[in-house]
Amino acid sequence: MTRVLSIANCKGGTGKSTTAVNLAAELGGRGHRILVVDLDPQGHAGLGFGITADPGAPNAHTPLRGRRGALGDGLRATAADGVDLIPADRHFDGQIVAGDPRCLAEALGPLAAGYDLVLLDVPPSAAALAVCALMASDGVIVPTTLDPLGLEGVRQFARAYHDVMLRFDAARLGLAVAPMRIDLRTNVERGVLGRLRTDFGPGQMVRGIRTDVAVSEAFALRRPLRGARPRSRAAEDFAALADDVVRRFQIDQRAALPGPPRGRAEGFSQVIWA
User: Is the model's pLDDT at 253 over the cut of 60?
Assistant: no
Judged against a pLDDT cut of 60, whether residue 273 lies above it is answered with no
* Antiparallel, parallel or unpaired: β 139-145 and 3-7: parallel
**Residue 191 identity (one-letter amino acid):** G
Contact by Cβ (8 Å): 80, 227: yes
Query: Does residue 111 belong to any structural domain of this protein?
Result: yes
Mean pLDDT confidence for 81-90: 95
In a domain, 121, yes or no: yes
Q: Please, which residues have CB within 8 angstroms of residue 17's CB and are 6 or more apart in sequence?
A: 38, 40, 42, 44, 45, 47, 48, 121
> What domain count does the chain have?
1
Specify which residues 118 forms β-bridges with.
4, 35
In a domain, residue 265? The reply is no
For residue 262, give every residue at least 6 positions away whose Cβ sits within 8 Å of its Cβ, in sequence order, or none.
Answer: 169
Residue 122 CA neighbour count, 13 Å, CB half: 33
Question: Higher pLDDT residue, 253 or 133?
Answer: 133
pLDDT at 260 over 80: no
Q: Which of 101, 135, 111 is CA-nearest to residue 37?
A: 111
User: Would you place residue 68 in the very low, low, confident or very high pLDDT band (cuts 50, 70, 90)?
Assistant: low
pLDDT of residue 119: 98
pLDDT of 126 = 75
- What's CA 222's distance to the chain center, in Å? 18
Nearest to 134 by CA among 176, 169, 93: 169
pTM above 0.95, yes or no: no
- What pLDDT is recorded for position 67? 66
**pLDDT band with cut points at 50, 70 and 90 for residue 206:** very high
For residue 16, the Cα-to-chain-centroid distance in whole angstroms is 6
**Cα 1 from chain centroid (whole Å):** 19
Do the beta carbons of residue 201 and residue 175 sit within 8 Å?
no
- On whether residue 35 sits in a domain, the answer given is yes
Q: Is the pLDDT of residue 257 over 70?
A: no
Q: Determine the pLDDT at residue 101.
A: 85
Please check the confidence at residue 179 and state whether its pLDDT lies above 70: yes
- What was the pLDDT predicted at 274? 38
Helix axes 233-248, 213-220, angle to 10 degrees: 90
**Interval 131-144: pLDDT, tens:** 999 999 999 999 99
Residue 12: CATH number of its domain = 3.40.50.300
User: Is the per-residue pLDDT at 172 higher than 50?
Assistant: yes
Return the H-helix or E-strand segment holding 140: strand 139-145
Confidence tier at 243 by pLDDT (50, 70, 90): very high
Could you tell me if residue 194 is inside a domain? yes
- Looking at residue 53, the DSSP 8-state letter turns out to be P
Q: Give domain status of residue 268, yes or no.
A: no
Task: Specify if 266 maps to a domain.
Answer: no
H/E element, 117 = strand 117-121
pLDDT band (50, 70, 90) for residue 146: very high
Q: In which domain, by residue range, is 38 found?
A: 3-257
pLDDT-wise least confident of 111-115, 163-167, 260-264: 260-264
* pLDDT (tens digit per residue) in 216-239: 999 999 999 999 999 999 999 999
Report residue 31's pLDDT band, with 50, 70 and 90 as the boundaries.
very high
- Please check the confidence at residue 183 and state whether its pLDDT lies above 80: yes
Give a yes or no: residue 158 inside a domain: yes
Q: H or E segment at 120?
A: strand 117-121
